[in-house]
Amino acid sequence: MLKVDPRKRRGKMSAFAFFVQTCREEHKKNPEVPVNFAEFSKKCSERWKTMSGKEKSRPGTAASADKVHYDREMKDYGPAKGGKKKKDPNAPQRPLSGFFLFCSEFCPEIKSTNPGISIGDVAKKLGEMWNNLNDSEKQPYVTKVAKLKKYEKDVADYKSKGKLDNAKGPAKVAWEKMEEEEDEEEEEKEDE
């Protein structure tokens, strides 16, 4: 599901949208009349087409003011904080799957037998070859992956050490600065 930033404004409204909004407000004044959205939209559209340029200027003025306001807000708008996390270069790498081990073995063979083949076609052929293998033929690649599973141990070690021990990111720098300031304050108190 797509995450929507609640701070981001929906968009600028057109002159016609302001006109329809005005029609809706007029229609709300008479609540006894039922509203059929399709008919309401047709009537607004027909009315808009028959309006003169002078009559259209009022919603047009509101639309241009909204555009200026929207542009000003979007100039100051930045994406939501905490978007995509940056990967720690010290983090252990996940091992390849059995399929990718298979691909790394057979990709050069396919390229040599079919010179000038596109990357997409190579991937399709590799996928077909993998799907045509039975479980016993896939077994060597699956066992290689099992041997590479020291990844879980590496991740556990990495998490137990803590990310801040190896990296000197902003949090680590701020923490060290705070500790230095506390040490300086303690020294000043001792000198007094």
Query: Domains of the chain: which residue ranges?
Result: 15-74, 91-162
- For residue range 127-182, list pLDDT tens digits in order: 999 999 888 888 888 888 776 667 777 777 887 876 544 444 444 444 455 556 55
- pLDDT of 23 above 70: yes
Token pair of 130 as six digits: 């993998």
Residue 84, CA distances (Å) to 79, 81, 93 in order:
11, 9, 18
Where does 15-74 sit in CATH, by number? 1.10.30.10
Cβ-count burial 31-59 (b if 16+ within 10 Å, e if not): eeeeeeeeeeeeebeeebeeeeeeebeeb
User: Quick one: CATH architecture of 91-162?
Assistant: Orthogonal Bundle (1.10)
Average pLDDT over residues 31-38: 76
- For residue range 95-115, list pLDDT tens digits in order: 778 888 888 888 888 888 888
pTM: 0.39
Token pair of 5 as six digits: 């930033």
pLDDT for 131 equals 92
